[in-house]
Amino acid sequence: MRYLFALLLVCGALSAPATPRSGDDEQAMETALRRGKGPHWLNRLITTSPVLRQHQVGVCITEVATGEPLYELNSERYFTPASTMKLFSFYAGLHLLGDSLPSLRYVVRHDSLLFWGTGDPTLLHGDVPSRRAFAFLQNRPEKLFYSAIPCVEAFGPGWSWDDYNYYYSPERGPFPIYGHTVRFYAKPNQRPRVLPRDFSAMVEPAPASFRSTDHVRRAVLENRFFVLPFTKTWIDETPFRTSPELLLKLLQDTLRRPVRALPWALRPQDSIRTLTGLPVDSLYRRMLQVSDNFLAEQLLLMCSSRLGPDSLNSDRTIRAVRQQFLADLPDAPQWVDGSGLSRLNLVTPRTLTALLLRLHREVPEPRLLNLLAAGGGHGTLRRRYRPVVAGQPWLWAKTGTLTNICNLTGYVRTKSGRLLAFSFLNNSIPGDDSPVRAEMERVLGQVRERM
């Protein structure tokens, strides 16, 4: 009987449904599925990290000299790239703009000068200022007529509407002035100084019922700026609502001469001329190092002006660059804006790394690395990726940050002297991303030491 009972137990065990896996078994299986291709030590470092375990991670590391992939984890999967999309805008500018920005376009008709925008954002910009168009318009002997060329909407597809108040989300436009922002300089017990001064009359103290952690809050649909109570010195920037009428007023006030509006209409006999502006690197450097969204959006519009004189259209630039220059990327990017503000953008780590390889082939290395943020040096990475070796950085990259997203794409110089291109993407991060930033620094520090 004992043998029969034992036999029945064995048969029952074989025929019984499988018991659910424990949490540890499921985690082990998940880790196995996420294992990357490359050095075991690096794969273990990433896939067993408690910091990287709870969100989506994609990594691709490639040798620049040979193009050989050295490590891949989810490199074929699509991620929201955030501001790493600015590398695509940079690439578009390299192929379409030449050495200088197109400042404006114009035609002369008898005693009149008709001008319109190319999207150049540098006219009296607070950080990348150009007075080329200003001096040109101020000194021309003809009567001035501004024509509003057809242009994209002020905000891009998939942008967060409630970012309208923040410095990083100015409206796009054909003829920007002052970077489409108002600057506030505040000291205790004094009314804030406002530039441009035209907006001073639109500034008022916030009502007592107003609740905000910001220094300044603008009304959503109009240029009314509410200053919150303060006790410390601060400087802040807030975008203003744009319109052709406001542009004309600002131009007339700053040029100190009349500027009239004229409907957009070119004649067959018109000879279109282009006024050149700043060298392109002055814009690229600011855009890439501090991740300036406005410059990136306007860059695509300037590229569009090179493709045709009839309108400024970001989509036209994106289509042209994808078809003419980037048709052979590993995975076609879903590319919808210039800055990466849109969550509709999607790209894979291996495509970003392929773009880095292409940039390195087409741009001299010293120029390319100088345009990017440098670890321990300048830009968004100045406080990370230290120490600097012999006064030189070892990492140059473009950051990409949105809520729940923390990405980094760029180049690492290893201790052995190899230059590696990498893309390290983190999406769906729950809560604070500071641990993720620190973990990427730890992992890439090991890449520098051991590869």
What is 7-28 written as a DSSP string?
A: HHHHHHHHHSPPPPPPHHHHHH
d(Cα 219, Cα 225) in Å, to the nearest integer?
7
pLDDT band at 7 (very low <50, low <70, confident <90, very high): very low
What are the tens digits of pLDDT across the range 369-417?
999 999 999 999 999 998 787 788 999 999 999 999 999 999 999 999 9
d(Cα 438, Cα 240) in Å, to the nearest integer?
36
What are the tens digits of pLDDT across the range 97-141?
999 999 999 999 999 999 999 999 999 999 998 999 999 999 999
Return the structure tokens found at 443: 């992992």
Phi/psi at 109 (nearest 5 deg)?
A: -125, 100
pLDDT confidence of residue 26: 53
Residues 6+ apart with CB under 8 A from 440: 406, 408, 424, 426
Return the structure tokens found at 135: 């001096």
pLDDT confidence of residue 30: 54
Q: Is the pLDDT of residue 28 over 60?
A: no
d(Cα 305, Cα 314) in Å, to the nearest integer?
10
d(Cα 25, Cα 31) in Å, to the nearest integer?
10
**Is the model more confident about 81 or about 389?**
81
d(Cα 59, Cα 47) in Å, to the nearest integer?
11
Domains of the chain (ranges; CATH) run 36-90+302-450 (3.40.710.10), 91-301 (no CATH)
What is 307-351 written as a DSSP string?
A: H-SS-B-HHHHHHHHHHHT-TT-SS--B---SSS--TT-BB-HHH
Residues 6+ apart with CB under 8 A from 383: 376
CA proximity to 451, closest of 34, 58, 41, 37: 41
Beta bridge partners of 58: 425
> Using omega within 30 degrees of 0 as the cis cutoff, is the peptide bond preceding 196 cis?
yes
What are the tens digits of pLDDT across the range 197-240?
999 999 999 988 888 889 999 999 999 999 999 989 999 999 99
Is the whole-model pTM more than 0.75? yes
Beta bridge partners of 422: 61, 410
pLDDT band at 11 (very low <50, low <70, confident <90, very high): very low
